[in-house]
Structure formats: C-alpha cells, structure tokens
Structure 1
Amino acid sequence: MFRTLISLLVFLASVVPLQAEVAVPVGIFKVVNTEGFVQSNGERVALETDMSEGTALIERDAANRLNVEINGAQLNLFPLDRGLAALTWDANGTALLHDIDVRALFGKDDPEDVPAWGAELEWPGSGTVQLVLLPLGDRAYTAFLISHPRDKTVVRQMEFRQFYGPSDRPEISFSSSLTPAN
C-alpha cells in the first residue's frame, strides 16, 4: 500500500505542471517619470517632462510582497491576483504604454498572465493613489501611479532601472584624427 501511494505521488508530481515563481528584479533602481497626463472635465493634458531621478530600493519578502523604499518612503506592494487585468488606465491619445504594449513586452495574450504588484497608498500631495509595478526582465520595472485628486485623474508612467558602474564616468568620444593600426 505504501509503495502504491509513493508511486502515485511520483506520478502526480511528474504530470501536474508546477507553476514557476516569477523572477523579479531586486536591488537599487533609478526612478524617472517617463510620461503622464491630467484629465479633467473630459479634457486630457500631457504632464510636462520631468527628467529628475529618484532612487528606489526594492526587496521581495517571503510572502511575495515587494517592499519598496523610494526617496525615504516605505511602500509595500502585493501581488495582484489578476495581474495586469487589475489595472485600469486609458492611454488613448498619449505616449503611455497601452495594455497591448505591456502584454507584448511579456509575450502574453491574456492580461491576467502578466505579473503585477500594487497597492493603494497615501501619497504626499496626491491623497490616495494606486501604484502598480510590472517587472520588465531582470533589471527593470515599468510602473503606473494613478490618482484622483479633486475632480481629476492623474496618471504617471515611471521606469525603475538598475544602474551599474560609477555615475561620473566620462563620455566616450571618437576623434577623426585617429587612424586604425595596420
């Protein structure tokens, strides 16, 4: 009987597909706002480009949460059961990533198959916001910060990118006076 039970367990383990945990990047990231808009009374206005950079530390805990520290603020993001499908934003008429763009980056047809972490948070100056991070490869995230101050909707798209090497590295320039060695 015991041998039959072990054989059955081995068989089930070999035929039942095991869902692999999604690899997510962790560490220190540079954060930039790449795009955004404000919508009020049906009119949409693009946000000015903001080239300032922030710094974020992202860690993953045993409960599969992402613990994010951005410029000193501690945020805890939870895996979204419905993945990208849990996020709603209207990117029409903007340069923001659209749902179809994000799915293409992940090679997924169903938005529920795109992993995402998010939470509703209190954000200084914006009230309650929805922050969602979607991992892009092993060194980056794309993120959306969606808020509804007063009678407006504000959507910001952000990039979190890991950086390596010194930030004061000299620029490489090519001189036309250099000739290749024979």
Structure 2
Amino acid sequence: MNRSFFAIFAFLQLTASLAAGDWPLGAFEVRNTAGFVQEGDVRRTIAVDRNTGTAEIAAIEGGLSVTIGGTQLHLFRIEEGLASIEWDASGTNLLHGIDIQALLGEETPQNIPVWGASLAWPGAGSVQMVLLPLRQNAYTGFLVSRPADQIVVRQMEFRKISGPSNRPVSSGSADRRRAGIAG
C-alpha cells in the first residue's frame, strides 16, 4: 500500500467551518462494501459484510462528527481534498480516486472534500479513517488498521436514511385512487 495514503494524517489541518447545508447530515445506514488484508506483497480480499449499522453525521467546527455504535469520532477537513490522498486499490474492488471524481462529476480532485483523522477504534486499536462525499446523499469512507504486520483496509458506504425501512410495499393503483389520480 502506498505510504502516501497514510501521510495525509500527518498533514491534517483545520479549515473554515463547514456550513451545515454543504454536505448531507443526519442519519445514515453504514455498510462495509469492500476490503482487503495485505501481508507483505500478498493481498487477500475480505468478504463483504452484509450487516448494516447506523451512523449520525453532524457538522462541527472544521469538520464532521460521526457517531457509530455510540462512539463519536471527529474527522477534520484535509487541505487539497482528494488530491491530498492516494491509495493503492489495484487488484481490489475498492473505489479509485478517479471513480469518486466521476461519481461526483468533478474534473479536479482538489474540489472533492475529504475529512480524516487518526483514531482509537474500539476493538481495532489505532486506525486511520477518511470520509469523502460519494453522491448527493452518501459518503464513502476508508478505515485502515495495521495489526501484527498486516494492513487491513475496509471501504464503507454511508447512505442517507430517508424514511422508515419497514414501509409497506404499495401496488400503486390503490394509492392513486385514494389520491384522486387516474391510472
């Protein structure tokens, strides 16, 4: 894995306050969508975790507060955005920087904000975490740990929760009749 990915954490700098309306805030469904373990030059894919969790993302001075499983994490804006970080996603299902640029329709990586920090993660020790916007109502993130001569990289997706997940399925026609809409 490219050392420069980890170098971003040495250059974390606070920037102006994040305006609450700039990026989606509130409740998000979180999934681990890809990952790998690397020992030396050998990479082994981590099975996709089908479980979901819930995260709350809020604006704080200079960054974002992410609360997952009762643990509050503070991530700070990284100067130069996506241009400041590199990661070696070759041979994996992880997003590449160019994928994130394409999803956001940005021509320059400097225009894509990144928040990050080195953190004490419950059960994993010291980790590095970065969070990037993925779409209008989603983020992607990477959690990197280094247990026992390994590098473990997990890619996460945060999708905005926009209503109850147990909403009954509608056929549509009865709803249209109740609303007075011709079908």
> Scaled by the length of structure 2, what TM-score is found?
0.77
Return the letter of the residue paired with 2:135.
Answer: G
Q: Structure 1: state its 5+ residue gaps.
A: 1-19, 175-180
RMSD: 2.3
Q: Structure 2: state its 5+ residue gaps.
A: 1-17, 173-181
Please give the per-residue CA displacement for 1:141-163, whole angstroms capped at 9, x wherever unaligned.
01111111121111111110112
Separation in 2, partners of 1:43, 1:163: 37
In the other structure, the counterpart of 1:98 is 96
Q: Is the 8 A contact 2:26 2:160 kept in 1?
A: yes
Q: CA deviation at 1:78?
A: 0.3
Separation in 2, partners of 1:121, 1:85: 22
Please give the per-residue CA displacement for 1:115-148, whole angstroms capped at 9, x wherever unaligned.
1111110112322111111113331101111111
Calculate percent identity across the aligned residue pairs. 51
Please give the per-residue CA displacement for 1:19-68, whole angstroms capped at 9, x wherever unaligned.
x968211000010000110010211011011011111111102x231011
Q: Tell which structure's C-alpha radius of gyration is larger.
A: 1
The answer as to 2:54 corresponding to 1:55 is: yes
In the other structure, the counterpart of 1:116 is 114
Alignment of 1:1-182 (within 5 A): 23-61=22-60, 63-171=61-169
In the other structure, the counterpart of 1:10 is none
| Cα gap change, 1:85 to 1:127, in 2 (>3 Å) | farther
Separation in 1, partners of 2:86, 2:107: 17
> Scaled by the length of structure 1, what TM-score is found?
0.77
Separation in 2, partners of 1:39, 1:161: 28
Separation in 1, partners of 2:25, 2:133: 10
Return the letter of the residue paired with 2:75.
Answer: L
Return the letter of the residue paired with 2:45.
Answer: A
